[in-house]
Every structure is written in structure tokens, then in C-alpha cells.
Structure 1
């Protein structure tokens, strides 16, 4: 259902003018999750080594739960050594077969070196096998709310059944920054040495003067070059995804351009404070006939600097909703348009629980729905 919503027209923006060579791209406001720019954001893509962000999310959750610690050591199996080690031809930590490696060193390798062997060692050490670990990745992906992803391994090595979207990759990056700030410093380390081999951080935008401090690059021959990157300047943090590029140089350049454009060309406004009601969604058969929709925290918009021209906005949800509706359920989306072009969107959530109504309420709403169907 689409509901015209014009009350915020005085606070929204003008035409967005930006293009990128990337096949897929997203620029996200970290605080609100609002999408500032998108290009095929919801089409399936091969995530390559950006998959390792989900691997890290599972690892950090296991540490938080107390099931493992950074000081634990995991065994380097023959599978990890052959699939992800020096003989594999891919990115590697150069872990020695049958050695024991601390979890912290494995984590640093996954982040800095993109070590496939390190990712597999973590997966096997936590879950016993990569397949079982992939199930944990998918379970967490569902919890985070990733709608377009499926993971089959911890590395991102090519598999036709493994896929994600640019939007989901940005959401994983946002989740890691928000939920695990105590580990985020690893992403900005410039290099790592293991087995007497020193390797630089594969994110070449670290320390180039635009505030980039994470997160992860990826590449396969079929998918091309991609990255999930974040920058913080002042009180503003952006997360960018670019993918499907032809070289490391092009990947770095397109990522830099997108982030720089987002920081310089836009100003941030907050038309809705945390907890402010954006609108209401109809509920049929519930104790209440509607439920308030709110943002996840404040809803922020990025607008071209100096521009407060009016736009249209809509509330979108698949309705009427059916109970039970639980507080925090994602039930809709605020979409902001300029001249009928979508320029930003932000997810909306149920502000309270709505339980199933009594028999009279359910019957009344059923008759209403039937009557509408006859019109």
C-alpha cells in the first residue's frame, strides 16, 4: 500500500546528480540507515571476499556470547590449508598446516589480508565445518534483516548458491560498526605480518585523507572488483558499496568518488527524532485498527547543500497488516522522491505490539475487507 505523505515537504531535497562506473552501488547514512544513492542495490551479486564481513559478524557474536575468546587457538586443518592456503592461489594468511593460531590473529588476517585460510580456520574452529558455519551466517543474516543474501562458505570463494546485494552488504557493514565498536580498529590497521610475510591492508583507501577507516574489499574474475567502505568526518559517517569494477584502481577511484560526493554535496537533516511517529499502518483483526510506524532511531535525510526545495514522500507497506504485530517488526518504508525519482528511503518499524482482536473485531474487519474487494 502506498500513502501520499506531504507533511515533510519543506524538509526535503532536490535532484540527485551522480553516476558511477560500478555495476552495483549504495551510499548509506550510517546513523539512520537511509540510502542516499543506489544503483541496482537489490539485484543479486557475487559478494566475493566481502562475504568475510558476515564471517566476522558471526565470530564477534561468538566472542560476545563467551563461547570463544580472542586468546583461544584454532587448528589449521588440511582443508583450510589446501582451500585457502599458499597453494590455493587466492588471498591467504600463509598459515602453516597443523599449526595453532590465536583467534585474534585469524580475525586480523581476515580483515587485513583477506586470508581465506584464516576464514576457514575460524569457521571450523567455531562450528566444526564450513557448512555448519554457513548455516550460522544465514541465521544471523536473518536476524539482521538481510533479505537478499545466502551464504555457503566463510570466504566468498565462488559458489553459485552464494549471493548478496549491495544493500545487504552495506547493512552488514553498518551492523559491524554499530554492534562491535571494540573491534572496529582492526579494519584500519595498515598491514599485517605472518610467517615472515608482510601484507598491506587490501583496502587502499585507508589513510588517504578522506576519513576511510574500514571495511572490506573483494574480487573474483566473474564478479569483478568491489568493496564495502566507510568514512567518518565530523559527526557524519557514510557507508559505501561499489562492485563490478574492472580493476583495483577503478575500485578505489569509484569508492573515493562516491564517498567524497556524499560528504561534500549533501547536508544532513533530521525531520524525525528517535521515536517520532512517521505514519500509521492499517491492521485488520487486531485489538487496534492501526499501528504507528517509527524509524530505527532518528530518521535522517541527506539533502543537496543549500537546497530545501519541496519533494514528495510516501509511506509504503504491504497492508493491511495481520496480527500479531510485534514492536520492532519492520513493516514499512519511507520513500522520498524528486520529480518522481526515488532519492532516499528509510525502513520503518512497528512502535508497539498489536495482538489479535476478539471475535467481533475480527469479523468486523473481515466484512470491511470483503466490502472493499467488491468495490
Structure 2
């Protein structure tokens, strides 16, 4: 059985914290307009910290991703480096195949690598991310997995692990191939993983230029040159896919990820992405409500070596809400009525809910911040008698 009372001091502190961040009470009645019209086949806007979907359209429709594929290529290379199987300065031999399919002779986006040369991994990563080089992507795929087909199998396994359930990769570049498909939602999952899992390599996505082999090429993500809050991620284009862009921006502690697929031009993908990001930053805000392991409450523990156990949340807790709505939040802790020792650290002892306008925004477990061992036999017996008298013995 759990208690379902609002702990007044907890709620007061909760709301006071939010109001101090969100501004004055006058903002409470802020109007949230309808989302902008976006000229794209599919699009999505999410908060990177909370996963809150702010806008979406055809977000689960499978579409060709073009060079957005290279986000997964770079993710796998970063993972190999993280696991110690690869180093930034390891040399990669550029095969004739990589040059023929993705080099200057291919007519596709290229890093202008020379065949049968050796190039450091980190240079190829820049070639993939900044120049969208097909030659660099194929060279890394061959170096990691032996050939591009085997690398595509690794890509699909990684997609499954990340929860990209509607994605199938056939190659490392995004070159049109039957069955090579993903969704706007899956791409947002991948973008979030890149940002969170490999922050050092994510910085490469914000670099505006990269010069290699006498060719100085600009990053195709025009938002990097137009909006200082934008720090990534990747563009893509084929005739089949149209012009695509996954973008991420951070402002006032809030990070958003936008995905647009199937726009009509290079400029259009930037303009439509900017619409999404501007709407999100203007009309929504993200708060870090609680830190993992911080005490939110104490509760009586029976039969333990101590009389109370500290309770909090297991993970950092973020919340995305419309701007000006903080004062309308209703937070409640539901804690087990009877807690008996022993209790292990992290053991679930209830749940925390946060409601706005009758919609539950958060429902997460409350856990023991500390372990509590059992008391001796007579102390446990005495607590059992008290529980029996109170009608709580079970």
C-alpha cells in the first residue's frame, strides 16, 4: 500500500524552484500558438534531455536518409575508439574501391582522398562529418569491418541497440539502395546518442570548414553559419531523399533536436529546420527538476538499524513544459505506507508524479538513496508488535 498525499513543503520547494527559473507570474497565461507549417515530407522536434516530442509529422514513415546515414557511420567509429579498438591517429589505407565509389572519380560528395594512401582516423571522421565524404565513409567501414557490407550489418545491430526500430542500413554512405530506410524519429534517437555518448567527437559536427588535399570545403549545414546556438549535426541529399537535415541547438540550458526529411532545396532544409528550432525555444522551456541521489523525503523504516530512510530519484529528472506554465504544476510523492528493513540502495519505495492540466508529465520511481540493514531480533520483534497494534502488520 502506498500513501497518496501531497507533501506541502516538497511541492512548495518544487514550484518555487521552477518559478525562479521561468520568470515572473505574468508569464503564466502565455499563449502557445499552433506549430509552424513545415514544407517537408517528414519532420520532428524533440527536447534532447527529456525526449519530449514538441512537433512531429510523419515521424515514423520510412524514408531514404541519404547522407544522414553517416551519423551512424561516425557513431560506430566513435564507439570503436571509446572501446579502445581504434585510435584517433591510427592510419587507414584508402582502397581503390573507396576511391572509385566515393572519391573524386565518383561524382558524389567526397573528401578527395587519394587511393592507396594512409590517412588518420580523425581526419577521415572530419571528412565524413564536415565534407560528407563518401570515400572517407567507405574507407572507415572497410577498416572497421573488412568491407562495407559487413559494416552495414554492424550499423543495423547498433540501430537495434539504440531502439531505432524502423531503420535498415545497406551501406555506410546513404547512397541510394533498395531497403536503405529510416525515420525522422529514429534519426532523432541517433542524434541524441551521438550528443550524449561521444561529446568530444560531437564537437566535430560544429566545425564549419575542413581542408584536405588542397580542397577547403564548407560544412553543408547552413544553420552553423546563421545561428550561433546550432552546433550540429548532418545534412543529406539524393534525388530520391530530397534535401534532409538533422540539426541540434542549445540555448539557455535547453537542447533541441530537429529532423527534416524531403525538402526541396539546400536553403529550404535550413529554413524549415530553423522554423522548428525557433518555435521550440520560444514557446517551451526545460527544467532540471532534481539531481539523482538528492534526498526529497525521509520515511519511517521498520525493523531497521536506523529509524528513517532517505528517498529520492535514481536518475536526473528533466521536464519540458510550455513557457509560463510552471505555477500550474502539481507534484506528488506516493510512498509505500510500510517499509521494512532490509532495504537496498536503489530499491523502489514509491513513485513521483508531476501533472499539468490533468496530464501526467512525469511518473518515475522513488528509490532508497541509502541501504538500511535489519536491526537485531528484539528490535525487529518490537517493531512488529507496533505494526500489529497500528493495523499495518502483514
TM-score in same-fold range (> 0.5): yes
In structure 2, the partner of 1:316 is none
2:328–2:356 CA contact under 8 A, matched in 1 = no
In structure 1, the partner of 2:43 is 25
The alpha-carbon distance between structure 1 residues 299 and 235, as it changes in their structure 2 partners (threshold 3 A), is closer
2:326 matches 1:303: no
Q: TM (normalized to structure 1)?
A: 0.72
Q: Distance in 1 between matches of 2:188 and 2:134?
A: 21
- State which of 103, 112, 115 in structure 2 corresponds to 1:97: 115
Q: Distance in 1 between matches of 2:269 and 2:171?
A: 24
User: Gaps spanning 5+ residues in structure 2: where?
Assistant: 1-5, 19-27, 295-312, 331-345, 347-352, 368-394
The alpha-carbon distance between structure 1 residues 200 and 133, as it changes in their structure 2 partners (threshold 3 A), is same
2:32–2:322 CA contact under 8 A, matched in 1 = no
2:59 matches 1:41: yes
| Cα distance, 1:345 vs structure 2 | 8.6
In structure 2, the partner of 1:244 is 262
2:87 matches 1:69: yes
Aligned pairs for 1:258-337 within 5 A: 258-269=276-287, 297-305=316-324
Q: Distance in 2 between matches of 1:152 and 1:90?
A: 17
SS of the aligned residue for 2:130 comes to helix
The superposition leaves residues 41-65 of structure 1 with CA deviations (integer Å, 9 ceiling, x where unpaired) of 1111111100100111100010111
Aligned pairs for 1:102-251 within 5 A: 102-251=120-269
Q: Distance in 2 between matches of 1:87 and 1:131?
A: 21
Q: Distance in 2 between matches of 1:150 and 1:39?
A: 21
The superposition leaves residues 116-153 of structure 1 with CA deviations (integer Å, 9 ceiling, x where unpaired) of 00000000011100111111111111111111111111
SS of the aligned residue for 2:226 comes to coil
| Cα distance, 1:81 vs structure 2 | 0.8
SS of the aligned residue for 1:28 comes to strand
SS of the aligned residue for 1:206 comes to helix
2:284–2:320 CA contact under 8 A, matched in 1 = no
| Cα distance, 1:307 vs structure 2 | 8.0
| Cα distance, 1:223 vs structure 2 | 1.2
Q: Distance in 1 between matches of 2:238 and 2:83?
A: 33
SS of the aligned residue for 1:113 comes to coil
The alpha-carbon distance between structure 1 residues 275 and 34, as it changes in their structure 2 partners (threshold 3 A), is farther
1:15–1:338 CA contact under 8 A, matched in 2 = no
1:34–1:345 CA contact under 8 A, matched in 2 = no
User: Gaps spanning 5+ residues in structure 1: where?
Assistant: 1-6, 277-293, 312-326, 328-333, 352-375
The alpha-carbon distance between structure 1 residues 110 and 348, as it changes in their structure 2 partners (threshold 3 A), is farther
SS of the aligned residue for 1:160 comes to coil
The alpha-carbon distance between structure 1 residues 38 and 62, as it changes in their structure 2 partners (threshold 3 A), is same
| Cα distance, 1:154 vs structure 2 | 0.5
The superposition leaves residues 301-321 of structure 1 with CA deviations (integer Å, 9 ceiling, x where unpaired) of 23144587799xxxxxxxxxx
In structure 1, the partner of 2:71 is 53
SS of the aligned residue for 1:146 comes to coil
Q: TM (normalized to structure 2)?
A: 0.69
Q: Distance in 2 between matches of 1:77 and 1:45?
A: 30
| Cα distance, 1:208 vs structure 2 | 2.1
| Cα distance, 1:237 vs structure 2 | 0.8
The alpha-carbon distance between structure 1 residues 222 and 72, as it changes in their structure 2 partners (threshold 3 A), is same
Q: Which has the higher contact order (CA 8 A, sep 6+)?
A: 1
Q: Distance in 2 between matches of 1:131 and 1:88?
A: 19
1:148–1:165 CA contact under 8 A, matched in 2 = yes
Q: Distance in 1 between matches of 2:42 and 2:357?
A: 21
The alpha-carbon distance between structure 1 residues 225 and 306, as it changes in their structure 2 partners (threshold 3 A), is same
Larger Rg, first or second structure (1 or 2) = 2
SS of the aligned residue for 1:135 comes to helix
In structure 1, the partner of 2:339 is none
